[in-house]
Amino acid sequence: MYDGRKIIPGLILFLGLVTYPVWHNLASGKSNYVPKPKLPTDKKECIEPKEAIRINHKTLLEDWRNSVVRNAGKTYVAYNKKKYTMSLNRTCMNCHKDKAEFCDQCHNYAGVTNKCWDCHIYPKQLEEKQS
Amino acid sequence: MDIDRRGLLKVAGLTLLGLSVKPGWQVFSKDEPAEPSPDAETLARKRWGMGIYVRKCWKEEGCRDCIDACHRIHNVPDMGTLKEEIKWIWKAPYENVFPEHEFEVTQEDYQQKPVMLLCNQCDNPPCVKFCPTRATWRREDGIVMMDFHRCIGCRYCMAGCPYGSRSFNWRDPRPFIKKVNLDFPTRTRGVVEKCNFCVERLAQGLIPACVEACKEKALVFGDLKDPKSEIREVLKFKTLYQRMPELGTKPKIYYIL
């Protein structure tokens, strides 16, 4: 190989630079970071099991939205036959009071943005605004 | 173990049957069906409408009770300028609301007298026809609904509405709302909004906020399909005016002079 002495160290250097974010995060322990959404302390039960909510909360909220706005349906029957009002503010945010401590924890981690709060107001936000 | 073709089929069949027990049980043991959302048929049994006593409205000059009540509960911003104004219910001078009326001799009696205006909740709403995304549609009980999630802000509906009932959010309205009502969303920049006949209050069995707020009882609300309803009693044997009935939109706001 011509210029092997230059090419091989160059390649190693290149690979090192390219993979820098990976091993930097490994070394600093950032790759082990797990988002920790703060759960309400006074309430024990969510409308659906934790696993189902984790995966499906987005479609659930979208179904609720369509149901309430377009079909005038307002009652949600959960897996255990309990009934809930389909409302982001009055049902979800009634327990998960602070968006920053709950929603944002995972959304920021996963780089997800949503437009819910452009219009809807969570209780805590109002407190901040009026105080 | 030796198993012949017949035996295998038997076992396989029984296994399949066994597997179907649980799903079958789940299907047939459904004791309580989910609460049905009020479907089209249920909604269509009603037809909401409003009557406005124009003269009762003149008793107290400068009264804004209905406007304030509506705009407060629906988080309607006060943008300050006429160009960006957002309104769900508002007033306009009589001669502008009913330009077709005769004013030659009655001019002094009527000029500059305010008349309440709001979305006419038409039976044949032009805004709905124009909306390219179906963000606005006519519900079976006659309320012309608006899905803010779906509105792309093209403002075709505003061009289509002959009553000027729709307003556009040119800017983020949040900073212009004095006191936010938590039970109703605000809007965002780039969506059209209008009176929704207090659909969220009707769902709770309440009457619209403007009707409730009016001290003079100048606004009457009710089910037009129910012959015993208050509104039908009020509309009986009265001379009624609608705005621009000649356009064929069939408005359901009646003015009683």
Count of alpha carbons within 13 Å of B201, Cβ hemisphere only? Answer: 17
In this prediction, the answer to ipTM > 0.90 reads no
Rounded to an integer, what distance in angstroms lies between the CA atom of residue A25 and that of residue B6? 62
CATH number where B249 lies = 3.30.70.20
**Residue B33 forms part of a structural domain:** no
What does each C-alpha distance from B99 to B103, B104, B257 come to in angstroms? 9, 12, 15
Give the pairing type, strands B253-256 and B48-53. parallel
Give one DSSP letter per residue of B96-123, joined into a string. Answer: HH-TTS--TTTHHHHTT-EEEEE----S
> What is the sign, positive or negative, of the torsion defined by CA atoms of B221, B222, B225, B228?
negative
| Phi-psi map region of A45: left, alpha, beta (phi>0 left; psi -120 to 50 alpha) | beta
Among candidates B35, B149, B180 on the partner chain, residue whose Cβ is nearest the Cβ of A69? B149
User: In this complex, do A129 and B180 lie within 8 Å of one another by their Cβ atoms?
Assistant: yes
**Residue B14 forms part of a structural domain:** no
Distance from the B46 Cα atom to the nearest Cα atom in chain A, whole angstroms:
14
- pLDDT, residue B2, reads 78
User: In this complex, do B147 and A69 lie within 8 Å of one another by their Cβ atoms?
Assistant: yes
Answer whether residue A22 shows pLDDT above 80: yes
**Residue B12 forms part of a structural domain:** no
**Residue B213 forms part of a structural domain:** yes
Rounded to an integer, what distance in angstroms lies between the CA atom of residue B168 and that of residue B180? 19
**Residue B34 forms part of a structural domain:** no
Regions of chain B short of the pLDDT cut 50 = none
Rounded to an integer, what distance in angstroms lies between the CA atom of residue B243 and that of residue B253? 8
User: pLDDT per residue over A65-93, tens digit each?
Assistant: 998 888 887 888 888 888 898 988 888 98
Cβ atoms of residues B68 and B237 within 8 Å: no
Helix (H, G, I), strand (E, B) or coil at B256: strand
Tell me which chain A residues have a C-beta less than 8 angstroms from the C-beta of B136: none
Phi, psi dihedral angles at B193 (to 5 degrees): -140, 160
**The pTM is what?**
0.79
User: In this complex, do B182 and A74 lie within 8 Å of one another by their Cβ atoms?
Assistant: no
**Residue B35 forms part of a structural domain:** no
User: In this complex, do B188 and A120 lie within 8 Å of one another by their Cβ atoms?
Assistant: no
Give one DSSP letter per residue of B18-37, joined into a string. Answer: HHTHHHHHHHHT--SPPPPP
* Amino acid, single-letter form, for residue B252: K
User: In this complex, do A72 and B32 lie within 8 Å of one another by their Cβ atoms?
Assistant: no
Q: Return the closest-CA partner of residue B177 out of B101, B88, B61, B72.
A: B72
CA B130 to mean position of chain CA atoms: 17
**Residue B134 forms part of a structural domain:** yes
The residues on A that touch B, with CB distances below 8 Å, are 65, 67, 69-75, 77, 81, 83, 89-90, 115, 118-121, 123, 126, 129-130
Cβ atoms of residues A92 and A58 within 8 Å: no
Cα Rg of chain B (Å, integer): 26
Phi, psi dihedral angles at B47 (to 5 degrees): -145, 105
Expressed in percent and rounded to 5, the helix, strand and coil fractions of chain A are 60, 5, 35
- pLDDT, residue B135, reads 94
Among candidates A65, A118, A121 on the partner chain, residue whose Cβ is nearest the Cβ of B182? A121
User: In this complex, do A72 and B203 lie within 8 Å of one another by their Cβ atoms?
Assistant: yes
Structural domains of chain B, count: 1
Share the mean pLDDT of chain A: 87
Among candidates A74, A118, A130 on the partner chain, residue whose Cβ is nearest the Cβ of B203? A74
Rounded to an integer, what distance in angstroms lies between the CA atom of residue A9 and that of residue A5? 7
Cβ atoms of residues B35 and A77 within 8 Å: yes
Distant-in-sequence contacts of B217-222, Cβ < 8 A, 24+ apart: B217/B53, B217/B56, B218/B52, B218/B53, B218/B54, B218/B56, B218/B57, B218/B116, B219/B50, B219/B51, B219/B52, B219/B53, B219/B66, B219/B116, B220/B50, B220/B51, B220/B52, B220/B53, B221/B48, B221/B49, B221/B50, B221/B51, B222/B48, B222/B49
Rounded to an integer, what distance in angstroms lies between the CA atom of residue B186 and that of residue B79? 14
**Residue B40 forms part of a structural domain:** no
Domain of residue B234 covers 48-99+107-256
The residues on B that touch A, with CB distances below 8 Å, are 32, 34-39, 43, 137, 139, 145, 147-149, 179-180, 182-183, 185-188, 199, 203
Give one DSSP letter per residue of A94-118, joined into a string. Answer: HHS--TTTTHHHHHHHHT----HHH
Cβ atoms of residues B218 and B57 within 8 Å: yes
Please give the residue of chain B at the shortest CA–CA distance from A85: B35
Q: Which residues contact B128 (CB under 8 A, 6 or more apart)?
A: B136, B137, B138, B144, B157
